[in-house]
Structure 1
Amino acid sequence: MSKNKKSLQDLTLLDRFLFAEVMEDPKTFENILSIILGEDISIKGRPQSEHENRTSPLKRQVRLDVWAEDETDAVYNIEAQKENTKNLPHRSRFYQALIDSKLLDPGEVDFSNMKDCYSIIIAPFDLFGRGLYQYTFQMTCAETGQPLEDGATRIFLNTHGKNSEDISPELKELLYYMEHTTEEISCSTSRLQQIKNHVNIVKSSEEIGVKYMQEWEEKILEKRKARAEGLAEGRAEGRTEGQTITLIQQMKKKIQKSKTLIQIADELEEEPDTIQSLYECVSQNINLATEEIYKIYISPDKTED
């Protein structure tokens, strides 16, 4: 076992694996959502972790971290995000558009039947630099301030906020627990205690422990395979061109799985800064052949076709 690998017991709710496992429980999903929104929410059925969403088989696939509907048919997508990838506002917009594309039945022409939709991102950093625990965005008119009332809401939660007086003590406590998910944390409300109890069940589950180990081992094997493919391709076609083409092939697969620059760099054992320009080139030309992307990448202006 790698010395850098966390045990299941050491994971926090900001770690994707634990977050997804915990949030598959309907009551836990309801409790967390109710605390965030400040009202009781009752969802239909079981939440879906890493819900696949794409508008056609040929288009980009996105896996929404945890997704559910409530009894009023409002839709909620909740994501825990540890790394500031610098693109979260744009990513939330993209997720919102994909969710919206699924909210009307085929042939439906009455757009007033679209469901309300909430996209929520929880992070251990202040994305907007204002010191707030919660940033809520809804469309308004720039000239008059009039709300558009289109039913779309995007919420960004910052576990390091400073305005305690503007949020409920329960939300503040939840955000702290998201980042410090340990047995020592005490809970002041029944909802928080229920969340903690379920986290403890997940962390002590032998079945989930095996699943976590298998997922970690798959990532290690993927890294080794990627490195071996890069070395083989580099030897066959010349180190600089061969390694670049291999990186493009690997990036295309990972970008199509909605992986971020940080995630891709980690899996390829590269520094994000060293592959960022290639990542951007591949992202912008994802539907082109690998060789065409390479030609664009090495061209002086790197412009899109």
Structure 2
Amino acid sequence: MQTSPSKYLGHRLRYYQSTIDGAKVLKPGHDYSELPDTFIILLCSFDPSEAFSRVDNRAVHFFKTIDTKDHALELNGGATKVIINSKGDFTGESEELKELAKLMNNEEVSLNEHFIWVQKRIKELNQDRRSDIMDYEMKIMDARISGREDGEKVGEKRGKEIGEKIGKEAERRAGIKRLIIAMMEISTDDRIIFNAAKKQYGEYFSDGELKQFIAEAKNDSLQEA
């Protein structure tokens, strides 16, 4: 699903094709003659003409490898790329495809139970995702506030110049610890936790220090368990 116009849709499809062929389909010990036919379907809720050589308002486009001088001559590579434009002209298209466009455009569908179920499921997933995002943002905010408060308490016990420096350092360390703990409640993926920590504290700590903080937080969590 693509929701934002881009002149690089063709490059995106090219990347998907390489990913499918290289990592998903062709296994070690097999050769390219065993590659199955593939179909990459890109659903666009906008006019994708920016990525084409000219404007074309058709609802569905099928792309294959053809000869540039003789467009009827096709290179049999087994790869088909499909772009569906939900805002395009659906004249002559099937009722199922028209219903799919309504689904993509957030319009109510009623053709059959399959489309109705999909629309209901999409609404559920979108609601869950919004809740996760709100929960994530609240945890980030709580971590920042708690870290700042902890740092301020430490800073009050120090001399003015030294206290400010140490207080800020303590604030950052307390803040990143709370951030990591909050992220661990959301995900167990070290990459996601590291990226969140780096985004907030990357200018103060090196990658090695950030990874060390994550390792220490996980170790503390195991000991508490």
TM-score normalized with structure 1 length: 0.40
Q: Is the 8 A contact 1:159 1:175 kept in 2?
A: yes
Aligned equivalents of 1:203, 1:220: Cα separation in 2: 23
CA spacing shift, 1:220–1:96, aligned 2, 3 Å: farther
Q: Secondary structure at the match of 1:160?
A: coil
Q: Is residue 140 of structure 2 the alignment partner of residue 214 of structure 1?
A: no
Q: Is residue 29 of structure 2 the alignment partner of residue 107 of structure 1?
A: yes
Asked which structure has the greater RCO (Cα within 8 Å, sep 6+), the reply is: 1
1:5-46, CA deviations, whole angstroms, 9 ceiling, x for partnerless residues?
xxxxxxxxxxxxxxxxxxxxxxxxxxxxxxxxxxxxxxxxxx
Offset at residue 108 of structure 1 (A): 1.6
Aligned equivalents of 1:95, 1:219: Cα separation in 2: 31
CA spacing shift, 1:81–1:223, aligned 2, 3 Å: farther
Offset at residue 85 of structure 1 (A): 3.1
Partner of residue 142, structure 1: 68
1:147-187, CA deviations, whole angstroms, 9 ceiling, x for partnerless residues?
1121111111111112412x212201211222124xxx242
Q: Secondary structure at the match of 1:164?
A: coil
Aligned equivalents of 2:36, 2:103: Cα separation in 1: 31
Matched letter for residue 84 of structure 2: L
Greater helix percent: which structure?
Answer: 2
Task: Show structure 2 runs of 5+ residues with no match.
Answer: 50-54, 144-190, 193-198, 201-225
Quick check: which has more Rg, 1 or 2? Answer: 2
Q: Is residue 9 of structure 2 the alignment partner of residue 83 of structure 1?
A: no
Q: Secondary structure at the match of 2:17?
A: helix
Q: Is the 8 A contact 2:66 2:74 kept in 1?
A: yes
Partner of residue 205, structure 2: none
Partner of residue 219, structure 2: none
CA spacing shift, 1:139–1:202, aligned 2, 3 Å: closer
What are the within-5 Å matches in structure 2 for residues 120-135 of structure 1?
120-128=41-49, 129-135=55-61
TM-score normalized with structure 2 length: 0.53
Aligned length: 143
CA spacing shift, 1:199–1:106, aligned 2, 3 Å: same
Aligned equivalents of 2:98, 2:79: Cα separation in 1: 24
Aligned equivalents of 1:171, 1:126: Cα separation in 2: 16
Alignment root-mean-square deviation, CA: 3.6
Q: Secondary structure at the match of 1:85?
A: coil
CA spacing shift, 1:105–1:186, aligned 2, 3 Å: closer
Q: Is the 8 A contact 2:109 2:115 kept in 1?
A: no
Aligned equivalents of 1:123, 1:160: Cα separation in 2: 8
CA spacing shift, 1:99–1:161, aligned 2, 3 Å: same
Aligned equivalents of 2:84, 2:68: Cα separation in 1: 24
Aligned equivalents of 2:138, 2:6: Cα separation in 1: 22
Aligned equivalents of 2:130, 2:42: Cα separation in 1: 23
Partner of residue 106, structure 2: 180
Q: Is the 8 A contact 1:133 1:158 kept in 2?
A: yes
Question: Which residue of 7, 10, 16 corresponds with 1:95?
Answer: 16
